[in-house]
Each structure stands twice: as C-alpha cells, then as structure tokens.
Chain A
Amino acid sequence: MERKDILLVEDDDMMAALLGHWLEKEGYAVTTLKNGLQVKEALCESLPDLIISDIMMPYYSGIELVDHIRNELKLELPVILISAASNDENVMNAFELGANDFISKPISPHELLVRVARTLKTMKA
C-alpha cells in the first residue's frame, strides 16, 4: 500500500512528538515543521498528501496557512486544523477558509487516526 506523506505543523514539541508517534505507528510518513512560514517554503519544494496544523502558532497561524493554500496557491491539498481553543469563531473561520476538518485538543489517538483516514479517503474519491 502506498505510504501517505503527512506534514505536521506544531510549535509545541511535546504535542508534535505524541501526534507524530501515533501517525507513524499507523504507517504514515510524517514530517514535522514548527510554523506556517516554514510550511510556505516547504510547499514550494514538494506537496504532502495531507497537512495537520495547529491554529495558534507564532508568526503565522494555522488559519493564515489555510488561506495561503486555498487563495494564493489555489491548492486542494487537504488540511486538518487542531486547536485547544475550540470556540465557534475559530471553527467557523477554519471551515470558511477551506479547512477540511477541525480537531479540538486534547486529541485522542483514535479520533486523530479516524479523521486522517477519512479525510484522505474523501480526497481520493
């Protein structure tokens, strides 16, 4: 089976280590970056199959990242946003800008993996 590339954008090393472990154990190839600016540069080089990004990060938020991907790069690349601040405004902003899914912290491994698989399947269909 083809190994899917996931770009994980998380400035908290602790969260990145845990999410990365869950995803790799499931068989995904995971690259971790710490902020949206690094992602902008990375996307010029190659495209992953899916991006999972925290919303609240220094310099460049996850919401700005989705805006960049959808409105500047014009890419359909699936994006799942995660945040501890699961207020309506954040969620609505994320979906209005074209995020494919939103997961509220704390995240369980089961929820993450189900949502990742579902998003990848939806994009393939």
Chain B
Amino acid sequence: MNYLFQVLTIISIYSILALSLNLLIGYTGLLSLSHAAFYGIGAYIGTLSGIVFGLSFFPCLLLAIAGTVAISFVVSLPSLRLKGDYFVLASLSFQTIVFVVLYNWIAVTRGPFGLTNIARPTLFGFSLSSDFAYFVFSGIIALACLGLLYLIGHSPFGRLLKAVREDEIAVSALGKDITRLKVTAFAIAAGFAAVAGLLFAGHVRYLDPTSFTLLESVFVVSIIIIGGAGNVSGPLIGTVLLVTLPEVLRFVGIPYTIAPNLRQIIYGLLIILVLRFKPQGISGEYGFE
C-alpha cells in the first residue's frame, strides 16, 4: 500500500512538471530542454532554505519559486529572441550549465555527495512522514497547481500564447509584445517546476544533481510528446503512463539490472512512433508538425 502512495506522489510531482512545461511547448510552441534545470534549482533553493535558515515548508516554497523565477529571466531574456533550433540549443546549454554548477559547487550543494536526511514538512504540528500523508499533501499541492495552470491557460493570455505558436508576426501586428509573453510563460513554467522540485526533495528526502540532468528534461518533454500537448488531458495521460511504466516492468519480472535501460528503450521507441504516426500523442490538442 505504501508503495502505491509513493507512486501516486511521483505522479503528482511529474504532473506539475508536465503541465507547466505544456505551457511552453503545447501553448507557446517553445521546445525547452531546460525544465529539469528549474526543477533542480527549485529543489535546492527550497531545501537549502530549510537547512540553512530553518524555515518551514511554505516559506521555503516561496523562496524556491522566487529564486527559480528570477533565474529564469537570466535565461529567457537573451534566448527568447532565438528561433527554432537555436532556442532549443540555448535551453540545452542552460540545462547543462546548471547541472555542472549543481554538481561542482560543492560548498553550497554538496554536489554528488548529496543533501541527505531532508526532513518531511510538518503541518500544524503533524509531521508528514508517512507515505500516505505525504501523498495527500503532494496531491493537494498538485491539484492547486493544476488548477492555477488551467486558469492561466484558459484566458486571453493562454490564447495569445497559442497565437504566438501559430504566427508571431501576426501577434506583433496586433499590438502584443511577444517577448513579454514568452518571458512570462517561461517564468511561470519555471515557478511551477520549482514547486515540483521541492515536493520531490521532501518525498525522497535526499537530493543530488543526478536527478536533474539533460535526460530528465528530455523525459518530461517526452511525456508531452507521448501523452499529447496543448490541453490538460494529454500531459496528464502522458505522466501516468510514463511514471507507471517502470513499475509495470518491475511486476512483469524484468531483471533488476536491465529494467532501467529497457524502460528508456520503451519510451525512446514511443517518442519515435508517436512523432511518426500520431503526432498529437495519445490525447493532445496540438500535434508536433
């Protein structure tokens, strides 16, 4: 039973990542390969605030969001003028740089040695140390995030983001500042990734940079490719599918040593097949054309 709650917690965390990245990829048409970087930055800022300043969960969360959003401007302002391939490369560069910093700035992040024994949050005097309690906690936060992302997406702002995806020139001709739109979308996505990051740190109670690599960014992108982009159901279906896939493999009895590789092969194949035969994914509104 505990195992189920752990899986559900991971689903909650990844659904926040997927739906926030969806704002960039599905709505705005920006293929960002740096989502794991913001996931990681949020996790570290939030956790370190707790360790260094002794703050409780929600102040840490606010600091994590604020710090991650601030850093997002450093990336977005120069690179959002870039088109197509160039933007993808810029996001990939940023992702790698962040990983190198997290890995090597040992004085602050303890690099590969990791931050251990991260305490579970305590709410109203009640410690969320059980898997069930933490699942309910993450689930509620995830629902709140999903709700906010829904409201943001179903608004003139969301509509303009989709318009940017379709035709940037027309959007400027209508008097709307494309750069401001993209930078804002980027900041919002980064902020939600930070929330997911702090939830993740509290769940596994251990942080090291290897959770926040380029391949992790690719993983979140593939959730959107496979599940579908643009609407809400696509990323959610993608999250459930790709998060439970390794668990399914485990039940089927695949040997421990090759399971991680086999899981990657499956989702690599899914990316190729989906892009070739069903570009809108399982349930997306917007196809990768």
* Same complex: no
Interface residue ranges, B against A (CB under 8 Å): none
Query: Using a CB–CB distance below 8 Å, which chain A residues touch chain B?
Result: none
